[in-house]
C-alpha cells in the first residue's frame, strides 16, 4: 500500500477515474472537431471538379482538426498536473 501511495504522490500513478476522464475528454474533442468538417467544407468541396483537389482539401482540413485536438489535449494536460516531471501544476492554473 505504501508503494502505491508513494507512486501517486510522485505522479507515477494516476487514478482510473482520471484516466477515464482524460479519454472521455479526448473522444469528445475528436467527435466535435471531426463532425464539424462536413458543414465547414460542403460548399467549398461542391465547387471542386477534381477528385485530387477534393482529397487535398479534406486532408488539409483533417490535419488541421487533428492538430487542434492535439493542442487542446496538451493544454489540458499542462493544467492537469505533472507532465514535465515536476509534480506541480503549470503556471496560471
pLDDT digits 0-9 by tens, 72-82: 888 887 876 64
Per the model's pLDDT, the better-predicted residue between 43 and 84 turns out to be: 43
Among 2, 23, 40, which Cα is nearest to 77's? 23
Per the model's pLDDT, the better-predicted residue between 23 and 49 turns out to be: 49
Which residues lie below 8 Å from residue 77, measured CB to CB, with a gap of 6+? 22, 83
Among 26, 27, 37, which Cα is nearest to 62's? 37
Per the model's pLDDT, the better-predicted residue between 10 and 38 turns out to be: 38
Looking at residues 27-43, what average pLDDT do you find? Answer: 94
Is the pLDDT at 91 greater than 70? The verdict is no
The answer to whether the Cα torsion of 71, 77, 82, 83 is positive or negative is: negative
Q: What pTM does this model have?
A: 0.66
- pLDDT tens for 16-25 read 888 888 889 8
Give the per-residue pLDDT at 12. 74
Sorted by where each begins, the domain ranges of the chain are 2-80
Element (H, E) at 4: helix 2-9
Amino acid at each position: 500500500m505504501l508503494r502505491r501511495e508513494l507512486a501517486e504522490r510522485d505522479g507515477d500513478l494516476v487514478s482510473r477515474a482520471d484516466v477515464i476522464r482524460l479519454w472521455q475528454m479526448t473522444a469528445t474533442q475528436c467527435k466535435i472537431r471531426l463532425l464539424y468538417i462536413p458543414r465547414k467544407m460542403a460548399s467549398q468541396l461542391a465547387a471542386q471538379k477534381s477528385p485530387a483537389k477534393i482529397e487535398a482539401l479534406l486532408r488539409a482540413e483533417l490535419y488541421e482538426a487533428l492538430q487542434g485536438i492535439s493542442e487542446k489535449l496538451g493544454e489540458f494536460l499542462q493544467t492537469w498536473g505533472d507532465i514535465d516531471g515536476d509534480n506541480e501544476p503549470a503556471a496560471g492554473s
